[in-house]
Structure 1
């Protein structure tokens, strides 16, 4: 029999939940939701413009598959049986073999790196991800503080594209690696800005769709590389950087003038008039005023003013629940990111046509992205991440076990792993934006993406070191993702829950949800 104290406690909690629900109904998020839920043409255009940055990010991320590839070669003397029986040209004299294409087709042949150490060969690609890691930590907080989402997106995309253009003029592997490092620093916040800015411009109903649009553009960027590289075959690798960087610079100029800032972020920064103007421009058939927003959201915590560029990061680390979530999502990001980038950056080690390999991998990731709305609608976040992560890791391990003996099966397993890891990564990116409130969402998402970038630092080195035994590499990929994926059990489920704006709102929701569950 329940005691009067327990009945009173439950009655009080019920009252608190009702009060909280009423506040939710009058919250800034729900008020804005009423005006943008229809997802009109202006919002659609904004999402497309923002997401295009992901296309150029995808190109720069995977361009090394072609610019840094080891070209095919042939024996120069038909009567030399030693040459034909050898699978390693480093054991032959230079006069016994030659490249199938001009030396300028790859940095490996251009700078005679073919017999160099695996560290040197993999250095440029690794430098790119080291830069991404550093750039993510140093630039992410600017989007939550005084710079904002739009300006950071513009500056980072422009910086990445400019560094890529300068890369075409490098004369040795050290300059090349340095510029790839600089390009990585700038690109680090592009994906974070795209995901968060798109999410905050769309209503809850369309949130999953607009985030998937960004992921699709990233995959399209990777898919655009094989035809560009194929048309450029026989020419210098430098043209790949010209063809991808110049359009990106033009895009940055267009984005600067036509992309709008997040109205949610503007209001949280106290810029109500700008937020109202953007909302009215996005949804011209509905008019909203500053007074409506002010009546909907009355901040009780000074943390909403993120003028200190590190205040959002401080908020993440000074609260135990936020720190726990951050460490878990970073662990998941490291595991899934290792498998995802490993499938792309290691695709050339399978001994399959590189143009076809990248095309198939990118095409499957597009299909994976298209299925994300269905996955988000049908399954909860945690079970989706676990299932997809296990499939990806298992396929990697199967690749390692069967080795080169069953080449067709190995290729199918690698494609299946790429498909699953891409889906898991995209679900995790969406999941992360739902786990943290507006005031720290960019910083939290960026920390997750930096963990994703940590694994790929070692992937090029592993691939280069195991050029003649890729089974070891795939075994590592599979073991890492399976080891990390089960940490998701330490995260709360977020499916169907509304986004919070401030830390105290998130804490109140979590306490209520924890009791109810």
Structure 2
């Protein structure tokens, strides 16, 4: 009985605990409900409603208060999609910058007139030989006086004739040195615009000092200094003019720069006619470089690509906004710039690859070009092509003094004849591509000069040889124009000017040798020019095509692209 009573007691206790748990469970529900409804004061309830409404509004408005992450794209994409590839801004910038090419033509081709051999005459009525060599100095005189040129002032004839070529070679040697130095400086801290200002000031000062030369050797030294500045003008102006232009318009724009150079040669001929003495000619052709720095360059913007590779993204974006505004467009909100090998969404402060990319993008040198397999062979081929092209182009241009006709008219015709070559090349550039066009123009020049070597130099054959020379310079002028845009597209932004400087050095080396080839006379120049043209065509065959290809900013970008091509 006692055991039954204990069992009943335990069962009863168990039932009571069960009912207690049920009451507790049931009590939680009313308590929870009461917390919301029954046991909450009106003021507390209103506060909770307000808080709930605030949370809802915050969720709805968060997209406007906190915009989505900024869209990042390269300069080419931003120009193509939003700012405009070639509008009013690029046209104004291009024309103002390329004015420097006209001034470079003054400094480069002034030697044709300053170092010319003026007409002379015998003082006696007897027979007069074709050359004054061997005639007593008292038996003849210069028709225009001794102040007409350096040749007449310092007697650079006969055995001293080599000094004319030496002074011309000194100028091109200076160009070779200046192109290398300013190619590097414009890629580094000095920038494209800063480098262009420095070389123009140097040209103005050295040109005026050249006009004051008391002796031949000082004249040659100052021509070296003048060439040092002139060597940097072309490449700095070219890169500065073409980098803000969109990819589909950059080829034609780059080709158009040579119109300014050829136009400068034609203008120079008129200036030389108005100022027939060599000293006054140097002054008149040098001062415009200073005026360019003072009156034109302040209205030219620095390259946004240079700002970008120097990690000055805000400055680059300001220029891109100016481009869009002037072109009648607007950049989307929240858009920003990136280098071509950066990935969207990466944070520069927390991503080691982005930091390495930025450090790499700050500056580059020709050593980086040689070190990279993606650019090494491109550089070697371009060095050879630029060398042979310069030998032919400058050789045929300087040969105008041997035609024994009106020098001023010949120079004008020579410069004007180059313009159709530029136009035809510009039209065909984006239709056939850089490589086929370069190969064809080099082959045309080489074959025509080879024919000129095979024909005679008397009678009708003299005219045939002249035609061969005209066709040769037509083809080489087209290729010379193409080389700048081709070279610029072959190398990334970080080393573009360094590469342009190096190939320009090779070009100037060819220009140094060109006067020596011309001096050989007879058929030798045409033989050399023909061989150079054909060799240049063969080298062009091994270059890659760059038409409609991205304009890379860093070495990593082009190396990744080349690696992807190998995988494909």
Measured against the shorter chain, the TM-score band is: 0.7 to 0.9
After superposition, where does 1:342-491 map in structure 2 within 5 Å?
A: 342-405=395-458, 406-463=461-518, 465-466=519-520, 469-491=521-543
* TM-score of the superposed pair, with normalisation by structure 1: 0.88
Does the CA-based 8 Å contact 2:255-2:426 persist in structure 1?
Answer: yes
1:255 equivalent among 276, 296, 299 = 296
1:216 match: secondary structure: helix
Alpha-carbon distance between aligned partners in 2 of 1:240 and 1:401, rounded to the nearest angstrom: 39
Alpha-carbon distance between aligned partners in 1 of 2:337 and 2:536, rounded to the nearest angstrom: 43
User: Does 2:86 align with 1:39?
Assistant: yes
Which residue pairs with 1:65 in the alignment? 112
Residue by residue, what CA displacement relative to the aligned partner does 1:15-41 show, whole Å, maximum 9, x if unpaired?
xxxxxxxxx994443124323325222
Residue by residue, what CA displacement relative to the aligned partner does 1:223-282 show, whole Å, maximum 9, x if unpaired?
11221122233xx21111122111221012123311101112201211111111112222
* TM-score of the superposed pair, with normalisation by structure 2: 0.80
Higher deviation after alignment, 375-384 or 265-274? 375-384
Change in 2 beyond 3 A, CA 1:124/1:489: same
Which residue pairs with 2:257 in the alignment? 214
1:75 equivalent among 122, 126, 136 = 122
Gaps of 5+ in 2: 1-70, 344-352
RMSD over aligned Cα atoms: 2.3
Does the CA-based 8 Å contact 1:62-1:344 persist in structure 2?
Answer: no
1:201 match: secondary structure: coil
Answer with 1 or 2: which has the greater Rg: 2
Alpha-carbon distance between aligned partners in 2 of 1:66 and 1:303, rounded to the nearest angstrom: 50
After superposition, where does 1:101-180 map in structure 2 within 5 Å?
A: 101-180=144-223
Alpha-carbon distance between aligned partners in 1 of 2:230 and 2:357, rounded to the nearest angstrom: 28
Which residue pairs with 1:188 in the alignment? 231
Higher deviation after alignment, 57-66 or 340-349? 340-349
2:551 match: secondary structure: coil
Which residue pairs with 2:10 in the alignment? none
Does the CA-based 8 Å contact 1:369-1:422 persist in structure 2?
Answer: yes
Residue by residue, what CA displacement relative to the aligned partner does 1:409-428 show, whole Å, maximum 9, x if unpaired?
22222222111101011112
Alpha-carbon distance between aligned partners in 2 of 1:439 and 1:354, rounded to the nearest angstrom: 43
Residue by residue, what CA displacement relative to the aligned partner does 1:162-210 show, whole Å, maximum 9, x if unpaired?
2112111111111111111001111112111222222211112321232
After superposition, where does 1:240-389 map in structure 2 within 5 Å?
A: 240-284=281-325, 285-288=328-331, 292-294=335-337, 298=342, 300=353, 302=356, 304-305=358-359, 311-389=364-442
User: Does 2:560 align with 1:508?
Assistant: yes
Alpha-carbon distance between aligned partners in 2 of 1:271 and 1:290, rounded to the nearest angstrom: 19
1:199 equivalent among 242, 267, 273 = 242
